[in-house]
Amino acid sequence: MFDWWDGVYKRIIAHALATAFGLGTPMVFAKEASPVQEFMLENGLKLIVKEDRRAPVVVSQVWYKVGSGYEYSGITGISHMLEHMMFKGTDELAPGEFSRIIAAQGGTENAFTSYDYTAYFQELEKSRLEVSFKLEADRMRDLRLSSDVLALEKQVVMEERRLRTDDDPQSLTLEHFRAVAFKNSPYRNPVIGWMTDIENYQINDLQSWYRQWYAPNNAVVVVVGDVDPAQVKALADKHFGKLAAVELDDIKPRREVSQFGPQRMTVSRPAKVPYLLLGYQAPSLATTEVGWEPYALIVLAAIFDGNEGSRFGKTLRRGQQLAAQLMVDYGLYDRKSTLFMIAGYPTPGTGVDVLETAVLGEVARAQRELVTDEELDRIKIQVVAEDVYAGDSMFYQAMQLGQLEAVGLGWQRRDEFVDRVKAVTAEQVQAVANKYLVEQGLTVAVLEPKAMQDQEAASHNRQDPDVH
Amino acid sequence: MYIRFYLPLLLALLAAPAAATPNIEHWHTANGARVYFVPTRELPMVDIKLVFDGGSARDKNLPGLARFTNSMLQEGAGPYDADAIAERLAMLGAELSTESARDMASVRLRVLSDPVVRDQAVELMQWIVGKPAFAPDTLRRVRGQLLVELQEEQQSPSDVATRTFYANAFEDHPYSLPPSGTEASISAIQRADVQRFHQRYYVSQNVVVVIVGDLDRAQAELLATRVVDRLPEGAPASELPTAPLIEASTNRSIDFPSAQTHIFVGQPALSRLDDDYYAFYVGNHILGGGDFVSLLFEEIRERRGLAYSVGSDIAPMRAEGPFIMRLQTRSEKAGEAVELMRTLLIRFVNEGPTAEQLAAAKKNITGGFPLRIDSNRNIMSYVAMIGFYGLPLDYLSTFNGRIDAITADDVRRVFARHIHPQRLVTVMVGPESSSGNHELGATKASIPANGASSISERRH
């Protein structure tokens, strides 16, 4: 590295970090991130409000603490199925009417289900927040579940599963990989559910799942936008406040059992590109016994693949040219213990075994040698910058708050993140690499492509004129 | 995460307060680059996007050349090799990405507005767009990357259907070429081809510079001048030919080892510069563009459970871009689904919207207007589109008024003008057995295909 650059580089780090943490510099962080306000309704519903006055818009999200990570064998995917049914009418509204009302208000809406939560959202012009609250409060307790509608919507979910998983060889490999990596943890089941379970949901299954989990004391409402928190609180009291709390069942811990050696599996499907998945058992922030370890793991993930200058890019994609794509995923905010995952595929002519050996070589290097100060500094600058960029999306801000609440960590963890990452040392990164990225907790999956027919030939043979 | 709907990014109504519409400032640099600037002072960050008229519509006999050239930009430029560029961007906390589609090839930078950081990032961007190295060893590496991406497309029934649809709908028009190229062309492209393409299209007369963020006008002018400083002046890209309509409807089936059959039905429809766009947009919203309130969604998903994702899109481009209807369904239902989709289109072309449908669509589109421009990123997307296609600077502030003025007759008129039921392209990608159903269905129905598809960006 050139000397002149070294000087500039140090200056930027000092500059960016100092300004970001309010030590005063020309870098104007004009408006302090506006404070988050938290309210607890008497029925146990938590309301989180963040003012963001950049645009006359509001994002409203309702998070339920239920997802596939709460499910049992035989009904996998039922949280997601219920998410679909939530648009199918209540005692007040006909099926689809929810969506028509939001559309008439110019709103955008959707919902999503994950391992740890199910969430529903609307984005609206700011004066229309009450429409969202009224409709969400209605379907929180008064959903009308019918067998006929379920029969039809099951077909939709089966199509969704075919689209997302069955016809996507990488996605299918990931699904089977998780089923092997986890033994007792419910994270072994796919969010969308196994096809046989989807086919066999009964209306009673949906009824009891809804009654069990959809209640104000199992919900968090997050609002970000051009709003007044006190007014939002009043609206929440008016619409959600009248709902009765229910008694929530205890949640069994279902802790993942120890793994006693590496596991290896193969998925053979029609495909063109092989795919490699490695996963190491690791604690999440919610399950760790040592507070800094999850942050050291997230830094380690970034050392490998946080940006194009990280090790995988520099060494495996550009240097040795073994990887065409390689990414790292670590579930810092998962409710249950998680995986530190590395996934990717090789360059043409490179065997997937060669790529695996090279990845394991990088893991060994992280265990053997301390990461450099420069690598750490780059990651710290990156989290500072990303924290600023996050302000550009109200939806993303709401997502961060809602997710942390849904997994029980609390939204305050968001504000700690930059400082906690900043505090991670090279020694800590090395320590977690040696503690968690070990063969005993490793699962490896490989997608072995099975031949597909030659599409060019197939299509040429079957071109035919219109027959109408 | 699993999400219930694919959400098109549109919508919305409500007469937005005039003050909420971004004020777009526009000028030319000394070397002829068109600059569009929107100051947003709330966050200490800047987004910069350079959009070149250098997408795959300019590929000519080397499909993938525009993508190849664009992909090489940040792999070494001026005094920096690929590692140096990557490390410097990381040190600056900056995000740089490149993208190339049919019309546009672009380079985007997001960086903190601090002057030291920003200037360093802009200096990198200058080299990246103006003096890429196109080093031979890097060329080989990027070629391998592009070849793997082509293979990935081949294992995706949706990607296969998209490629096939454009090839069939646009025949000899430049839009028929796949932006990702073909194995033969990607393998054949040489350094000289990439250099020639870059010299022709990455020039200041052929670029739109979009700046959104925490700058004043003087800072923005300086930044714009600097970022295109290393570009030769050159000349604007030539006009594109009009997209011809095929003579008669075609059906193409491709055997694919999947559970679902992916169905696309559509044709070239209209240009982004066509004033019919507004009425077509409203009509398409009713037919299949709305999130979950559309005719296609209602009939195919809600009433029959035939698909998870179904809809129609209009993707207007410099020349006539396609109108496409699209769905995927279990293969035994493919014949039923394609027939239904065609029938719904024909009926809509003949009958147009009801008064209720039109009113609901307008409320949705205009009422959601504030959502379209609620972030730097969204503002950037609109301003880039306005600048690239030379739309009026008051595009955003007049948008709701134009939508409100559309009548049911307008919708009928523009659909009759731009949709030709005897000239539709149908593509079905799925297990062989399903295509038999499809041909049978088409024969019985004597209805030509129509369709909607996944061209535009959709949020999940």
Domain annotation covers residue B232 = no
Residues B373, B273 share a domain:
yes
Residues B118, B266 share a domain:
no
Q: Which residue in A212, A220, A221, A215 sits closest to A244, CA to CA? A: A215
Residues B261, B210 share a domain:
no
Q: Using the 3D structure, point to which of B227, B242, B277 is the last residue of a domain.
A: B227
Output the pLDDT for position B443: 31
Tokens describing residue A409: 């960590």
Domain annotation covers residue B281 = yes
Q: Residue B114 and residue A465: Cβ atoms within 8 Å?
A: no
Residues B158, B127 share a domain:
yes
Q: Using the 3D structure, point to which of B193, B227, B261 is the last residue of a domain.
A: B227
Please give the Cα distance from B305 to B298 (Å, whole number).
Answer: 10
Picking from B115, B374, B449, the nearest residue to A57 by CB comes out as B374
Please give the Cα distance from B243 to B176 (Å, whole number).
Answer: 10
Which of the 8 DSSP states describes residue A153? H
CA atoms within 13 A on the CB side of B454: 20
Q: Where are the alpha helices (DSSP H) in A162-224?
A: 169-181, 195-199, 203-213
Q: Which residue in B187, B169, B176 sits closest to B56, CA to CA? A: B176
Judged by a CB distance cut-off of 8 A, whether residue B145 touches chain A is yes
Q: Residue B93 and residue A382: Cβ atoms within 8 Å?
A: yes
What is the full per-residue pLDDT of chain A (468 aa) written as tens digits?
Answer: 334 345 444 545 554 544 443 333 333 344 455 589 999 999 999 999 999 999 999 999 999 999 999 999 999 999 999 999 999 999 999 999 999 999 999 999 999 999 999 999 999 999 999 999 999 999 999 999 999 999 999 999 999 999 999 999 999 999 999 999 999 999 999 999 999 999 999 999 999 999 999 999 999 999 999 999 999 999 999 999 999 999 998 999 999 999 999 999 999 999 999 999 999 999 999 999 999 999 999 999 999 999 989 999 999 999 999 999 999 999 999 999 999 999 999 999 999 999 999 999 999 999 999 999 999 999 999 999 999 999 999 999 999 999 999 999 999 999 999 999 999 999 999 999 999 999 999 999 999 999 986 554 444 434 433 333
Residue A197: how many other CB atoms lie within 10 Å: 20
In chain B, which residues have their Cβ closer than 8 Å to the Cβ of A380?
A: none
Domain annotation covers residue B341 = yes
Residues in Cβ contact with B126 at an 8 Å cutoff, skipping those fewer than 6 apart: B78, B226, B227, B228, B229, B230
Residues B274, B153 share a domain:
no
Complete domains list, chain A, with CATH:
36-239 (3.30.830.10), 263-450 (3.30.830.10)
CA A170 to centroid of chain Cα atoms: 18
CA distance B17 to chain A (A): 9
Output the pLDDT for position A454: 56
Instruction: Name the residue with tokens 């030939």.
Output: A457
Q: pLDDT digit string (tens) for B205-221? A: 999 999 999 999 999 99
Where in the sequence is the domain holding B68, given as residue range(s)?
A: 32-227
Judged by a CB distance cut-off of 8 A, whether residue B98 touches chain A is no
In chain A, which residues have their Cβ closer than 8 Å to the Cβ of B160?
A: 455
Judged by a CB distance cut-off of 8 A, whether residue B403 touches chain A is no
What is the complex's ipTM, to 2 decimals? 0.91
Residues B83, B176 share a domain:
yes
Which of the 8 DSSP states describes residue B175? G
Entry field: residues in chain B = 460
Pairing of strands B207-213, B34-39: parallel
Catalytic residue among A51, A71, A83, A256: A83
Domain annotation covers residue B308 = yes
Residues B146, B203 share a domain:
yes
**How many domains does chain B divide into?**
2
- Best B371, B425, B426 member to test A by mutation, with max A CBs in 10 Å, is B371
Domain annotation covers residue B239 = no
Q: What CATH number is attached to the domain comprising B285?
A: 3.30.830.10
Please give the Cα distance from A322 to A140 (Å, whole number).
Answer: 51
> Has residue B6 got a pLDDT over 80?
no
Contact B180, B223 (CB under 8 A): no
Please give the Cα distance from B295 to B287 (Å, whole number).
Answer: 5
Handedness of CA A360, A366, A372, A373 (dihedral sign): positive
State which residue of chain B sits closest to A457, comparing Cα positions.
Answer: B254
Q: Residue A191 and residue B1: Cβ atoms within 8 Å?
A: yes
Residues B259, B218 share a domain:
no
- Our answer to whether residue A83 is catalytic in this structure is yes
Tokens describing residue B223: 């930044």
Residues B351, B287 share a domain:
yes
Q: Residue A378 and residue B328: Cβ atoms within 8 Å?
A: no
SS (H, E, C) A266-323: EEEEECCCCEEEEEEEECCCCCCCCCCHHHHHHHHHHHHHCCCCCHHHHHHHHHCCCE
User: ∠ CA(A190), CA(A192), CA(A195), 5° rounding?
Assistant: 90
Q: Which residue in A107, A113, A126 sits closest to A62, CA to CA? A: A113
One-letter amino acid of A160 = E
Domain annotation covers residue B117 = yes
Domain annotation covers residue B446 = yes
Contact A60, A48 (CB under 8 A): no
- As a whole number of Å, the CA-based R_g of chain B is 23
In chain B, which residues have their Cβ closer than 8 Å to the Cβ of A382?
A: 90, 93
Domain annotation covers residue B235 = no
Any bridge partners for residue B12, and if so which? none
Residues B263, B221 share a domain:
no
- Best B2, B246, B396 member to test A by mutation, with max A CBs in 10 Å, is B2
Residues B127, B77 share a domain:
yes
Q: Using the 3D structure, point to which of B194, B227, B260 is the last residue of a domain.
A: B227
Residues B257, B213 share a domain:
no
Q: Residue A125 and residue B371: Cβ atoms within 8 Å?
A: yes
pTM reported for the whole predicted model:
0.92
